[in-house]
Structure 1
């Protein structure tokens, strides 16, 4: 950790600069407020371009970066931060978790990889965890139905919300896909 300690769930001492990068404005605002209340000096960015510029101007001690941003990939931000500050503790947030991107994020210097929606407590724990400390397994892991639904949503977004193309890539009937998309997400 960068010389900081946690006391009663708050950060104390050392460099507490934190860059949060996410293109979901309401989530970004909520997370920034929550991290400020835990002792961080928060800067925010809504794009890769803005985040890279801020990282090059003043590399933060901590960063929370969304994987997919409107103008590119959050991994570019991780690389830019690492270039300026090798000891920065960076975590990746994503709604589209997969092993390949998690491995790439860690190789670029991210210390953790969290799936959205992640709450402020999860983010704080990931940022302040010591090097040898392991994350606790989730108390309520996603159900198989939820994992399937998340995968379908990811492919649907990758296909720019084109039902026919999504159905073709998933090898399922278009009407079946339409019924799945019309339902709420399973728990």
Structure 2
């Protein structure tokens, strides 16, 4: 359960019990000691007695933003290796996650190998492939929606108001582009 005599303590912040359980078992097989939390309040309570070196944080927790968890975890330990995992990937939320202390940002579906590889990436990569395709209007709309959602703490009604569209219209757009 240790790497070079040091325990690998991982916190999984995920409100989907099935996914949390699957990730927990998979990381335990890789000799991590795994703790789980389903909300920001759970994280705050857990940090009173534990100090994980690794964390996997779902971006959307029961309608709330996982970004608050990233901020709290980073404030607790600036060296914690935090990976954000999301089904609602966007440039806006990726930038905010990194600013708040995450080391990496992965879109679902991601497996244990992807997450562990992200833990190992502590430096930026200047050789990353640059996209050559210009942004489409649909992509720009999606990015604007994601930025507004993040700004509204993932409150769909408030985001719809800020975007000047009906709440149901926004909900339909989100369901259409949802990443599983």
Question: TM-score, with normalisation over the residues of structure 1?
Answer: 0.66
Q: CA deviation at 1:67?
A: 0.7
Residues 118-177 of structure 1: CA deviation (Å, up to 9, x unaligned): 11111111113343568987xxxxxx9xx9xx99xx99x946xxxx7433x49xxxxxx7
Structure 2: where are the runs of 5+ without partners? 130-135, 150-154, 158-165
Is the contact made by 1:35 and 1:120 (CA closer than 8 Å) also made in structure 2?
yes
Is the contact made by 1:60 and 1:88 (CA closer than 8 Å) also made in structure 2?
yes
Q: CA deviation at 1:21?
A: 0.6
Distance 1:122 1:35 in 2: 12
Distance 2:78 2:37 in 1: 20
Is the contact made by 2:10 and 2:32 (CA closer than 8 Å) also made in structure 1?
yes
Show the counterpart of 1:104.
96
Is the contact made by 1:56 and 1:84 (CA closer than 8 Å) also made in structure 2?
no
Q: Which moved more, 1:59-68 or 1:48-57?
A: 48-57
- 1:14-25 matches, cutoff 5 A: 14-25=6-17
Secondary structure, counterpart of 1:57 in structure 2: coil
Q: 1:36 and 2:38 equivalent?
A: no
Task: Provide the aligned length of Structure 1 versus Structure 2.
Answer: 155
| Match among 52, 64, 72 for residue 60 of structure 1 | 52
Distance 1:136 1:63 in 2: 24
Is the contact made by 1:92 and 1:105 (CA closer than 8 Å) also made in structure 2?
yes
Is the contact made by 2:156 and 2:167 (CA closer than 8 Å) also made in structure 1?
no
Alignment root-mean-square deviation, CA: 3.8
Moved runs in structure 1, 4+ residues, more than 6 A?
134-137
Distance 1:130 1:46 in 2: 26
Distance 1:87 1:135 in 2: 25
Larger relative contact order (C-alpha < 8 A, sep ≥ 6)? 2
Q: 1:92 and 2:84 equivalent?
A: yes
Structure (1 or 2) with the larger CA radius of gyration: 1
Q: CA deviation at 1:86?
A: 1.1
Question: Taking structure 1 as reference, are residues 136 and 120 closer, same or farther at Cα in structure 2, changes over 3 Å only?
Answer: farther
Show the counterpart of 1:174.
none
